[in-house]
Amino acid sequence: MIRTILHYPDERLREKGKRIDAVTDEVKRLVDDMAETMYAAPGVGLAATQIGEPLQLFVIDTADDGQPSDFRVFINPEILEREGTLTWSEGCLSFPGVNEEIERAGKVRVRAQGRDGKPFELEAEGLLAVAIQHEYDHLQGVLMIDHMGPLKKRMTHRKMLKRADESASADT
């Protein structure tokens, strides 16, 4: 089922995700819904908090169009190490139409559980490392706008408020 993606400045985006105690059928259904929602958007990642589910869960697929799926599930993720720096033009499904150069670690090591509930560790670099950090931030209530300089932050905030106003007007 495709879920509604929350858009900035929705306050629920600032809510921290709660730890998932057990990977139940309900959690697996949520993972499936998140995958369907992410692919329909389309995006390369989606955190549970972006669809109003305050849980420590995100999904990512960084495969290029025409490539086999590289779908990954991260339940209760922890970033163990960050190394180097990388600047990447990031977008976010909660900030439609916004792309900004964001500086992040160039390489990360993460520990999480998969859809099967089994723990794993992963070292990632490039787009996968960026996506992991971006989605992990969502679970902490940290958004892309928080990584911008003051001017970009103000401009993006205004753009998103205008979009929210136009969206609200269209709904009435």
Q: How far apart are CA 169 and CA 54, in angstroms?
A: 28
Report the predicted TM-score, pTM, of the whole model to 2 decimal places: 0.95
What was the pLDDT predicted at 172?
A: 66
CA distances in angstroms from 72 to 127, 134, 170, listed in the order given: 13, 14, 36
For 113, the token pair is 């559980």
Active site residues: 135
Examine the pLDDT at 134 and tell me if it is beyond 90. yes
H or E element at residue 164: helix 150-171
Q: Tell me the domains of the chain and their CATH numbers.
A: 11-171 (3.90.45.10)
Q: What's the alpha-carbon Rg for the chain, to the nearest Å?
A: 16
- pLDDT 10s digits, 60-90: 999 988 899 999 999 999 999 999 999 999 9
pLDDT category of residue 170 using cuts at 50, 70 and 90: confident
